[in-house]
Each structure stands twice: as structure tokens, then as C-alpha cells.
Amino acid sequence: MTRERLYLYDTTLRDGQQTQGVDFSAADKVKIARALDALGIDYIEGGWPGANPTDSDFFRQAPKLKRATFTAFGMTKRSGRSAANDDVLAEVVNAGTGAVCLVGKTHDYHVEMALGISLDENLANIRESVAHLVAQGREAIFDAEHFFDGWKANPDYALACLDAAMEGGARWVVLCDTNGGTLPADVGAITAAVTAHIPGTHVGIHTHNDTENAVANTLAAVDAGARQIQGTLNGLGERCGNANLCSIIPTLMLKSPYRERFDIGVSEDGLKELRRASHLLDEVLNRQPDRHAPYVGAAAFAHKAGLHASAIIKDPSTYEHVDPDMVGNQRVIPMSNQAGRSNLLRRLGDAGIEVDRDDPRLGHLLAAVKEREDQGFAYDSAEASFNLLARRMLGCLPVFFEIDRYRVSIERRYNALGERVTASEAVVAVHVDGERMISASESIDPVTHQDQGPVNALALALQKDLGRYQEYIDDLRLVDFKVRIIGAGTEAVTRVLLDSSDDTGEVWSTVGVSANIVDASFQALEDAIVTKLIRMKAPAVRMAVHG
Amino acid sequence: MTRERLYLYDTTLRDGQQTQGVDFSAADKVKIARALDALGIDYIEGGWPGANPTDSDFFRQAPKLKRATFTAFGMTKRSGRSAANDDVLAEVVNAGTGAVCLVGKTHDYHVEMALGISLDENLANIRESVAHLVAQGREAIFDAEHFFDGWKANPDYALACLDAAMEGGARWVVLCDTNGGTLPADVGAITAAVTAHIPGTHVGIHTHNDTENAVANTLAAVDAGARQIQGTLNGLGERCGNANLCSIIPTLMLKSPYRERFDIGVSEDGLKELRRASHLLDEVLNRQPDRHAPYVGAAAFAHKAGLHASAIIKDPSTYEHVDPDMVGNQRVIPMSNQAGRSNLLRRLGDAGIEVDRDDPRLGHLLAAVKEREDQGFAYDSAEASFNLLARRMLGCLPVFFEIDRYRVSIERRYNALGERVTASEAVVAVHVDGERMISASESIDPVTHQDQGPVNALALALQKDLGRYQEYIDDLRLVDFKVRIIGAGTEAVTRVLLDSSDDTGEVWSTVGVSANIVDASFQALEDAIVTKLIRMKAPAVRMAVHG
């Protein structure tokens, strides 16, 4: 079979921007466009020049792309004027991009109801707008809005709209499931009817996730001959989102029958960068990455079930449909009360702790993990704390410092201006190899000058003076903090999960459990600092005695 | 066309529990099982009796279900012993559920590699295990692990495994895409081959979301004849999750061709409760609901684009594939004051506050709610705090007492016996109609003698002496406490939700938000006490002045 080329069209910066709560700055857009270009995307749609100040700014300071065709979005000209005299269209054309994508209506009801023009006028608008782009030397793309619903209502008219665009000289006509309600079988059948009429090498697909079928709808259209795929990073988009390129790209490259049939612009090395592009978008949006995202999520290759974990160790393909390394991801075998000995060995190996399979201490460690998980510790979410527990039980936990005591106080009162204020203050006393250090800290945000509460105060006091270890923890940062109450009534305890990081960008998670929320936080904090010192290979005072 | 019955099988409590970070308590499982039963799910798989203490507990205290068949999960018997003598299988059978689902291998490679037994032995294990269930009067379900991969490797053997289960008397054989790597076209073709051999009324489908196609794979199997669907609420599950019942159920009920062809156990009224069931699971997991989830997400019917929003006002069907009301959701059009106002009136009515539709104070209240929800307050989950805010804005909030200041300190140290102990102590100063009261309290559990932390200490101090109001609050109890961190970095704040109750058994919820976790808790505590006083019709000192 000869291989065919599939083209990828990213609309994160335009349709993704339609999402409630998403407002990219021009600088954000530059950052994302660069990542998409490096990944190997063919078309990067930057926005709608003239629609809002940010998009206009972005097109003025358009990034130089190495490979991708930079694309402006707009709509077909309005009735009653020529394409050259439509000021909205003019702003789009004036952005000077290599390709321009114009959306137009193809559902007869919408033409008459929303536009209030005749069906023929709409055809003329499409044809003339596209021809205008081509006359300006641009690659023209026609987004056929509501195409599938339009087809169901009036297939001849829907197809006539595509023909009008092709007659105008469009490089692509893109079938848009604007409301996201079309199911895969219908997308396949309707796309096949289109590609029987217009060569699939000119047909694209644009789907939304309102029935959770955006990816499947995209694949169904490719199966039916469509050769351009529109989507967004992480499936960002209005309502339930657009087709997720982070799922589609690995499927096309790694799975049958696509990998045997198609080439795309993404290289094998590019595929390994997909996870980074996905996280970049989350970072720009200040969102926690979805741990369960296909291919790129932190848990996409996490195996919790004991039975699975033992088979995985024998042969990873038993429970993995692709090799995580191919998509720049990695296998995770977390700890949990369902995990068995195989799981434990694997986790210890990952943590760099070598233990013999028959070592009797493994049984003790397994029992300790179970006992502490019954108390509320969650080691599958806090691998760094698991690592410390394992080291303690196996006699290889370095001791750097010992907490003698801490005290934290929180006060709320009215200040001299009659404003209600809160203040937190912590004191921590530690021993470092015989030396005793005592540090105090308030908890005031440097920017807002607001009290940040007792946990922040304790963290600041604890990190203030660790004596000879101080230099190792200067770049330690707390990046996330989660609290969960477990049980109820007098048996309730608080579990705190803490994510920490440093200048390497790596993140490690620790856990603390106590009926006292502050003490649970302090335990997680102490584990975070000890983990940092182990990571830095700081010289220990001694090894902990297991007892 | 005659309508056919499709059966829904929920595995949130078993396969969902395999998810990294998910550890249901037995009480959590009871809560979720009740919601699934009310929804109209046919089978509720509770877990694996004997696999871990929580599952064993849950099956011992199994909830009474009104409609659903409670189902235990396990695996087929091991070789070298009879089904009756397999202790692992015995624990599953002894749970006494109406149905039992046993997983068994159907991929020849796995049988030989992971089990290390002959292909024939595996067939005998399947047949005899299922026959054993049937002999005990149970409905038997066979989960065919790795079925699609097994079919690709050796279709005859994969089918022979299903035949063995049917020969044993299985009600259902369920085709499992265990690794989640099979794409919709293959699921459709292979399921069709199976249903040509075994009637589809005995065939189920169990998919995973590793290529983001779990929902599409499920629909492809139904198209090919499968009549049982396995999935989870919110697609919870190992790695990338299982098939999401919250997307599948509305699609089956509202979309062609399914709504014309099939009946399921969920009623139209039940469908409106789907969103609540989805949120219940998030609440149990202390997760923020996914705003972009199909059908049930807060943004699933949110229209940001100006063009869309104006067409929506003319005719909602232009940009909505289903009516949000059918799935208990609602349309969101930013800046649509009208929608907000009806919503607000409904909330006030629920709180027993009568206001005229045209009262100008409604606009101020709407703005205040929006502003405070932007800060992190969650009034949907804290009706009692919403009630107090509304009363304040509408001039009918009674004032009983005023907090002058509080201080709480938490200390950890070693006691005289060398034991590490924590202690919390709070002091609260209040004014009651000119009189000033100052009370202190430690926080020691009367049974365990353990420190219960700063929030408990504050609650005890605040409830210790409220002067003339003391008699009204004697039976006030805090019954639940939830903490969520919102945002990240320096903008992170803590939201505390507090459930309180009294001797009437009624429960009310209050909320507090602050960067300081203790102050957020204190706000929720104060609202809880004021609500209790209003409930008791305690005479107020005066009414609050809105300002």
C-alpha cells in the first residue's frame, strides 16, 4: 500500500481561545505557536485578526515559524458588497499569513435564519471570498460550519457549499461538526459521501467533544478519506472541547492501520516532545495537567492492580498498548493497599533501592505500608514519602536533622484602622548534628502582603536555618497542597499531600496524616525537605535506626 | 423496529477503585452504590471480596439496593483444585451477591506466559468456575480479559474461552479491551464476529480510554450487537479511565439511532439526576468536577462566542445538540443577566426568602454572589452561607454576637516520657449585646485523649460561652469538614466546607475562604453557629446593616 500524507491543523489559539476562562495574551500565543511548530504541526491557526485587540497584536508580532504555515481565521464576506470591499475580511487578509481559513454556513436553515440571506447568495459569498484569497496568493481553507447537521437537513445544498469553495480555488474544505453532536457512524458515512464527490486530499475534519467522540469522529473521517485533521492541544475548546491532537497524533503514528498507511509532519523525536507541549499549554493556562490524559498524562501508564503489576514486570506489553517511552512518558507502578510484593520490588527498583526478592524485610515493609495506609497515608500519590518509609525499614534512611519542637499561632483581630486582619507566626527548633537552631517566621505574601496561614509560616521557619544543610534547600519550593479529611466524627483524620519542586523542575510528592491538620502538613513538609537533601546527595549525619 | 433492552453495568467501585489516588472507604462505597441504584443502573459491581480489608468490609455491610443487582468481582479458579476448593473464589461467592463477575484470560500468550498453564486447562477453569456460580444459584458474568488482543492473536482460542463460559451457564460474556488500545473499527468488526456466534443478548463490552476512544468503542460494540455496557461514573479508572457512563447514558437516551432502538434502566427523571451522581463521585474523591465533561460539565452548554450566543437566543438548537435541561444541566451565556436572575430567585425560594422578581437588590446580590464565587466561595455546596449572604444583602440578617478576636496555637514537642505530642489551644473573645466574653479551650478527644487540632479547639472555645445564646447551641455538632485548595502559587486560597447538625438530625453546610486555612475554617464555623441560632429562632440583638 502506498503511504499517504495526513495534514495536521492546530486551532488551539483560535477555537481553543473560545473556551470560557481562557484568555491568551499575545506572548502566550507566541510561546504556544513555537511549540506547535517544533512539534511538526502543518497549519497553526493564530486567531481572528481584527476580532479583538489581542489577536490583532499577535498577528502584528507574528512569530517566525520554521515549518508550519501560519494561518489567519475569519468569515466569508457579507452580502451586498464585494470580497475586496468587506472590511472584516480585509483585516483577515491584511494579516499577511500564508494560509487563510474562512468559516461559512452550509446548513440551509442557518443561512436563512441566522444570516437572513438566500441560499444562492450564500453560495456566491463562499465562492467569491475564496477566490479573493486565491487572487491574493493565499492558500485558502473553507471551514464548513454545521456541515453534518446541514447534510442531514439538505445534503445537496451542503455539498453545493463545498463545491462553491472548490470552484473559488480552495485548497481544503473542512467538514465541521460545530455543535459536536454527530456520532462516529454518521461522520464516517457522510464524509465518505463527500469524498466520493470531492477528492479526500482536499477534505478536512473538525470535531467537538460534546458526546466524548471527538477523537473517534476524527478517525472515522480519516477512514472515510479526509486528509486534514483540525484539533487542539489537550482538546482545549468551547463547551466540551475540540478534538484532542495529543491523543490523535500518537494514535496515527503508533497504531494500526494508521501507522502503516499515513505519514504526518511529526517525527519520532517530535512525538517524544508531545507531552511537553501538552504541559506547556497547562502552564500557560495555570492548570493542573490531567493525570489521566491518554498517552501524555502522568497516570496514562500507571498500574495499580497487583495482578497487572506482576505481569508488567514479566512483559510490559501485557498491560500496555504502546511503549510509554515513544510518547515521552513513563511507566508508574504506584504503591497502594492493592499492591503486592512484585509491585513493591518494582517501586523500590525505581527509587534506586536494591533488595533481594526473598529479603524478609520486604514482608515488614509491605505490612508497614498497609498499616499506614489504613491510618490514611496514601503512598500511591506520595512516592517520595514511600521512598523514605522504605529506606527507614531497610536501614538506608539518612538522618540530616531532627525536629525538637515547633509552635505556630494564628490570630485574627482588628487593627488600628478597624480592619480585620489575620497573622500567622511559627517557631521551629531543630538539631543538626548536636547543634541546636531555632528560627521564627511570619507568613506574609511578598506581593499581596496578606497572611498565608500556618503551613506557610512553618515552611518558612523550617527552611530558614538548617545549618550546614541550608545551601542544599535554597531552591526548594512548595508547588501544590491538597487536603482531604478521611473518616468522620472522632475518628476523622486529615491527610495532606504536598508537591515540592526545585530548579530542576522535577516534582516530588509527600504525605502527612494526623487529626491535627497543621501537624499533618508539617509531616509532609519534613518529608519534602529530607527528600530534597537525598536528591542533592547531602552528606548525612548518620543512618536512621529502624525501630 | 422493535425496541431492545441494553443493560448497564457499573464498575466505579471496582475498576474505578484501581485508579491511582483513589481509595474508597466502605462508607464511600455505600454512598456511591445508593446513587447508582437510584439512577437506574442494572448491575453494580462492588469490588473484590477478600482482595483487601475495605472490600471485605463493604460486602459485609452491603447496602440494600432497590433495583440494581449487586455484583461481586473475582477471578476464575486456579488450576490444580476444584472451583469449590479455591479459597479465593470461595471468598467471592461467600459475599452472597445476586451476580458474580469472574475475569479470566482469553489471550493464548497470557495463558501460557502469565498463568503458566495449558490452553485447555484455562478453558476448563473458565467452564468449571462459571458452572460453580450457577450451581450456587448466582447469575454468572464472564469478563474476557484482553479479548480483542487475544482475538487478533488467535481468534479460535479467544472464542473457545467465551464458549467455555457459555457452556458453564454464563448469563453474559463481556469482551474486555483491557489495555485500552483497540480502535473503534476493530472493536466493531471483532464484536460482530462474536455476535455471529453467540447471541448479542449475552455479549457485553468493557473498554478503556487509552486512545480516548472508550465511549466510541462502546458504541461500536453496541452497533455490532453487544447488549451489556460496562463503565464508570466520570470515566474513573486505571490509567486513562474506563468508558464514561455519564457520556454514554445521555447518548443512548437522547441521540439517534440509539434512542429509537433501545431501552435502558434509566428513566427520563433519572437522566436529570446524572449530573448529581457525577458530582457526588467528585465530592467523595475531593476532586473539582471537570467543567468540560460532556453533558454533565458546568461548561458543557456554555457559549462564549458572541456569534453563537446571539444565535442561541434566537434558537438554542443552532448551537446545542441536546437540550441541557434533559440532563439536569443548564445553558450558560456569559453576561446573560436574565438567566442569572431566575437562578437566584430559585435559590432564594429554596432558602425560604421571598423577594419580588423586580426588586433592585437582586442585582446587587447577584453581583455579590458572582464576586464571592470568583474568590472561591461555593454557594451551591453551602446553602446555609448563601442564605446568610442573601439575608445580609436584603437587610434581614439577625445579629446575635460579634467576634472581637481569636488566637489559636499549635505546638509539637516531646513530653516527659519522650513521646512526641501535639497540643492545640484556642482563645476567642466575643461581644454579645455589649457584654464581652472570653473563652479558652484545648482540643482533646474525650475518648482517645489525642489532640484534634486547631479547628476543633476554636469550635470548642467559640461554643463555650455565648452568654444568653448558650442554651440554643448546646446540641450543635460538626459532622463533616472538607478542605480544597483553589488556584496555585501565591494566588492559592483555601476553601473550607463545614457540615453541621443538631438533635433534629438535619444537616446544614457553610463555607469559608481564605489564604489562611484556619481563618477559612473559622468563617465557616461562625456561619454554622449563626445558622443554628436562626433555626432556633433565637431573639436577635439587632439586624445587620448592609454595607
Is the peptide bond prior to A257 cis by the omega test (within 30 degrees of 0)? Answer: yes
Find, in chain A, the residue whose alpha carbon is nearest to that of B478. Answer: A489
Range of the domain at A528: 399-543
**The total number of structural domains that make up chain A:** 2
Q: Is A404 in the same domain as A280?
A: no
The predicted pLDDT at position A490 comes to 55
Per-residue model confidence as pLDDT tens digits over B165-194: 999 999 999 999 999 999 999 999 999 999
Distance CA B122, CA B119 (A): 5
The answer to whether B457 touches B442, Cβ cutoff 8 Å, is: yes
Are B311 and A114 inside 8 Å of each other by CB?
yes
Find, in chain A, the residue whose alpha carbon is nearest to that of B450. Answer: A515
Q: Classify residue A509 by burial, with Cβ atoms within 10 Å: 0-12, 13-18, 19+.
A: buried
pLDDT (mean) for B513-522:
94
The predicted pLDDT at position A175 comes to 98
Q: What's the predicted TM-score (pTM) here?
A: 0.75
- Which residues of chain B does A301 touch, with a Cβ-Cβ cutoff of 8 Å? 239
Find, in chain A, the residue whose alpha carbon is nearest to that of B320. Answer: A179
Position A501, amino acid:
S
Average pLDDT of chain B, as a whole number: 90
ipTM rounded to 2 decimals: 0.75
Q: Is A99 in the same domain as A243?
A: yes
The predicted pLDDT at position A481 comes to 82
- Which residues of chain B does A292 touch, with a Cβ-Cβ cutoff of 8 Å? 19, 209, 235, 239-241
pLDDT of residue B61 exceeding 90: no
- Note the residue count of chain A: 547
3-state helix/strand/coil string of A260-317: HHEECCCCHHHHHCHHHHHHHHHHHHCCCCCCCCCCCCCCCCECCCHHHHHHHHHCHH
The predicted pLDDT at position A376 comes to 83
For A91, A120, A448, B61, B98, the CA distances from B27, given in Å and listed in that order, are: 60, 64, 41, 9, 21
Confidence band of B342 (pLDDT split at 50, 70, 90): low
Distance CA A476, CA A473 (A): 5
Q: Of chain A residues 263-302, which have a CB less than 8 A from chain B?
A: 286, 288, 291-295, 297, 299-302
Q: Is residue B430 part of a domain?
A: yes
For B328, B353, B355, B400, B532, the CA distances from B347, given in Å and listed in that order, are: 16, 9, 11, 24, 19
Closest by Cβ to A238, choosing from B244, B304, B403: B304
The answer to whether B226 touches B177, Cβ cutoff 8 Å, is: no
Q: Of chain B residues 171-210, which have a CB less than 8 A from chain A?
A: 178-185, 209-210
Per-residue model confidence as pLDDT tens digits over B256-315: 999 999 999 999 999 999 999 999 998 888 777 898 999 999 889 987 655 565 676 677
Q: Is A408 in the same domain as A278?
A: no
Q: Is residue A68 part of a domain?
A: yes
pLDDT (mean) for B531-540:
93
- Which residues of chain B does A189 touch, with a Cβ-Cβ cutoff of 8 Å? none
φ and ψ at B83, to 5 degrees? -60, -40
State which of B116-125, B324-333, B349-358 shows the largest mean pLDDT: B116-125
The predicted pLDDT at position A350 comes to 79
Q: Is residue B283 part of a domain?
A: no
The answer to whether A54 touches A26, Cβ cutoff 8 Å, is: yes
Q: Is residue B287 part of a domain?
A: no
The predicted pLDDT at position B308 comes to 62
The answer to whether A202 touches A172, Cβ cutoff 8 Å, is: yes
Q: Which of A206-220, B113-127, B474-488 has the lowest mean pLDDT?
A: B474-488
Q: Is residue A438 part of a domain?
A: yes
Distance CA A123, CA A105 (A): 9
Which domain-ending residue is among A256, A285, A314? A285
Q: Is A278 in the same domain as A403?
A: no
φ and ψ at B520, to 5 degrees? -60, -40
The answer to whether B358 touches B366, Cβ cutoff 8 Å, is: no
Please, which residues bridge with residue B500 across strands? B478, B508
Confidence band of B487 (pLDDT split at 50, 70, 90): low
Find the CATH number of the domain harbouring B410. 3.30.160.270
Q: Is residue B75 part of a domain?
A: yes
Q: Is residue B391 part of a domain?
A: no
Find the CATH number of the domain harbouring B18. 3.20.20.70
Instruction: Tell me the pLDDT of chain A (547 aa) as tens digits.
Output: 689 999 999 999 999 988 876 878 888 899 999 999 999 999 999 999 988 777 888 999 888 999 999 999 999 999 999 999 999 999 999 999 999 999 999 999 999 888 889 999 999 999 999 999 999 999 999 999 999 999 999 999 999 999 999 999 999 999 999 999 999 999 999 999 999 999 999 999 999 999 999 999 999 999 999 999 999 999 999 999 999 999 999 999 999 999 999 999 999 999 999 998 998 898 778 677 898 999 999 899 988 766 666 677 778 888 899 999 999 898 887 655 455 677 788 778 877 888 888 888 888 888 888 788 878 888 877 889 999 999 998 888 999 999 999 999 999 999 999 899 999 999 999 999 889 999 999 998 877 788 999 999 999 999 998 988 999 999 998 888 888 877 655 567 888 989 898 988 888 999 999 999 999 999 999 999 999 999 999 998 888 876 4
Find, in chain B, the residue whose alpha carbon is nearest to that of A179. Answer: B319
Distance CA A281, CA A31 (A): 9
Are B514 and A380 inside 8 Å of each other by CB?
no
Query: Residue A14 corresponds to which cell in the numbers above?
Result: 483560535
User: Widest CA span of chain B, in angstroms?
Assistant: 87
Distance CA A368, CA A357 (A): 17
The predicted pLDDT at position B334 comes to 54
Which domain-ending residue is among A285, A300, A331? A285
Q: Classify residue A461 by burial, with Cβ atoms within 10 Å: 0-12, 13-18, 19+.
A: buried
Per-residue model confidence as pLDDT tens digits over B426-442: 999 999 988 999 999 99
Per-residue model confidence as pLDDT tens digits over B68-99: 999 999 999 999 999 999 999 999 999 999 99
* Cα B326 to the center of its chain, rounded Å: 20
Please, which residues bridge with residue B231 across strands? B10
Which domain-ending residue is among B266, B294, B314? B266
The predicted pLDDT at position B315 comes to 78
For A257, A306, A488, B46, B94, the CA distances from B60, given in Å and listed in that order, are: 48, 23, 20, 11, 10
Nearest to B100 by CA among B192, B14, B12: B14
Position A170, amino acid:
A
Q: Is residue A503 part of a domain?
A: yes
The predicted pLDDT at position B283 comes to 82
Q: What is the DSSP string of A310-345?
A: HHHHH-GGGT-SS-GGGGT---B----TT--HHHHH
